[in-house]
A and B are shown apart, each in its own frame.
Chain A
Amino acid sequence: MTMHPLSLAGVSKAFTVHLQGGLRLPVLRDLAFTARPGECVVLTGPSGAGKSSILKLIYGNYRCDEGAILVRNGSDIVDIATAAPRQILALRRRALGYVTQFLRAVPRVSALDIVAEALDDVPREAARDRAAAMLARFNVPERLWGLPPATFSGGEQQRVNLAQGLLPERPVVLLDEPTASLDAENRAVVIEIIRERKRQGVALVAIVHDEAVRDAIADTSLDVTRFATAT
């Protein structure tokens, strides 16, 4: 049996807010889609339709109430909906990448090391060389590489974050607005790297509002409003 790198079936999610008397907020019902190797699925729909929630469910950041979220890890298939924490962590280390527009800066760690830490299976010096190449590609000035990004501008932080998120070559990659607030030059870098990953057979799921970027990377568009239960 051949399995897609990513496949969702019958996925439903609701939040129950106990602080508001057990208010139930349904988000998604019966979501199903797949991503093939080299395919970029772009999620579309208005704000609040649940696009980011879908990425968080796939990453295991949100819990899945119903259904299956199958991610291929080598010859194994892991169901994120039922996997143990350490299986999800192993998957995140090897098979599943997640790139948002926001950097979670760790105090006192340099930009270069933050990016290099994404390659925890590569010897340290080699990881740093590849991290440096990625930072250079994103036009982060070399004088900043040795500094912790907490004091960088918003755009610089975002580029460090993209360098970190796009450096490891994982078979499934989730992108949440990777180009938001980037200038044209760096937007073009993101598009170029996404295309490279597609040629390498990576399956991507992306949220992109910029139409030009969407047209440049999307193979499939999925309107999530038909799975949304929120009004």
Chain B
Amino acid sequence: MIEDAPLLTVDGLTKWYGRRLGCTNISFDLYEGEVLAIVGESGSGKSTLLQLLSGQLQPNDGRILYRMRDETVADLWHLSEPMRRLLFRTDWGYVHQDAQMGLRMGISAGGNVGERLMAVGWRNYGAIRDTATDWLARVEIDQARIDDTPRTYSGGMRQRLQIARNLVTAPRLVFMDEPTGGLDVSVQARLLDLLRRLVSDLNIAAIVVTHDLAVARLLSTRIMVMKAGEVIEAGLTDQVLDDPREPYTQLLVSSILPV
């Protein structure tokens, strides 16, 4: 089990925006079932890193290796553009902070979930509708709302719908950008519990960008702390948060308001 090959290998990833540094020399491995949190304040490079990792932004240096379903290892930027898109549609998920960016606001909730299934070749309307209904239940959305558009949904419901849309095709790797950002605390707790359970039941690998250390603690097994484009500290989540070594990490941990 320990000797398994990683799902994702990131090696020396670097991105410059002109002369301004996005992030530099990022390296790590990620395995199935692991949830990696990337934390740091605004401007630390964590969003740049997420865009690089998910293939939306091309790095200046370094490489991303991904173990495909047929067990071959592909260099992300050596794949053709259509192949990369196919991977993104079928094997990966991406949960945006703003659910509107991850949903099609004009089509029904069922359609939002079903569309992903059709993209991977499902054609039977009944099967698509049944699976969509099942997934709405899994993310605790009332079946009676399946034909409504997400415009009529609350923020928390939209986020749960976005998660169903992402997970319905059983991706192996899911990226999440501040998945609970902008939601009420009680809505956050529900969403976090749901995410925690789904990720563990489906044995998905996930990379979660967050500035909220409580979210990182609840969801992730490993953590990377970023500052000024660099990873300054990484390790087991509970170890880094309970025994932080770097001055900046100590500052972050001690800045949490007690409840």
Contact = CB atoms under 8 A, between A and B. Distances in A.
Contacts of B192: 107
A87 B250 contact: no
Contact of A17 (B218, B238, B242, B250): B250
Contact of A85 (B189, B235, B246, B254): B235
B31 A86 contact: yes
Contact of B193 (A17, A85, A90, A109): A109
B236 A106 contact: no
Contacts of B193: 106-109
B196 interface: yes
Interface string B176-200: 0000000000000110110010000
A107 B236 contact: no
B207 to A, nearest CB: 15
- What's the dominant secondary structure at chain A's contact region? mixed
Contacts of B34: 86
A181 B192 CA distance: 31
B138 to A, nearest CB: 15
B245 A63 contact: yes
Interface centre among B218, B239, B246 (most CB of A within 10 A): B239
Interface in B147-192: 189-190, 192
Contact of B221 (A16, A85, A106, A109): A85
Contacts, number: 53
B236 to A, nearest CB: 4
Interface residues of A, number: 20
Contacts of B239: 60-63, 85
B236 A60 contact: yes
Nearest to B223: A85
Contacts of A89: 221, 236
Nearest to B240: A63
B245 to A, nearest CB: 7
Contact of B2 (A17, A18, A87, A108): A87
Contacts of A90: 1-2
Interface string A88-103: 1110000000000000
Nearest to A86: B31
B251 interface: yes
B222 interface: yes
Contacts of B126: none
A161 to B, nearest CB: 16
Contacts of A108: 189-190, 193
B61 interface: no
A63 B249 CA distance: 15
A221 to B, nearest CB: 27
14 contacts: A16-B245, A19-B251, A60-B236, A60-B239, A61-B238, A62-B239, A62-B242, A63-B239, A85-B221, A86-B2, A86-B34, A89-B236, A106-B218, A108-B190
Interface of A: 15-19, 56, 60-63, 85-90, 106-109
7 cross-chain pairs, A with B, having the tightest CB-CB distances, nearest first? A18-B247, A107-B189, A85-B236, A62-B243, A108-B193, A85-B222, A18-B250
Interface of B: 1-2, 31, 34, 189-190, 192-193, 196, 218, 221-222, 235-236, 238-239, 242-243, 245-247, 250-251, 254
Given A85-B239, A106-B218, A108-B190, 7 more contacts: A18-B250, A61-B239, A61-B243, A62-B243, A63-B239, A106-B193, A107-B193
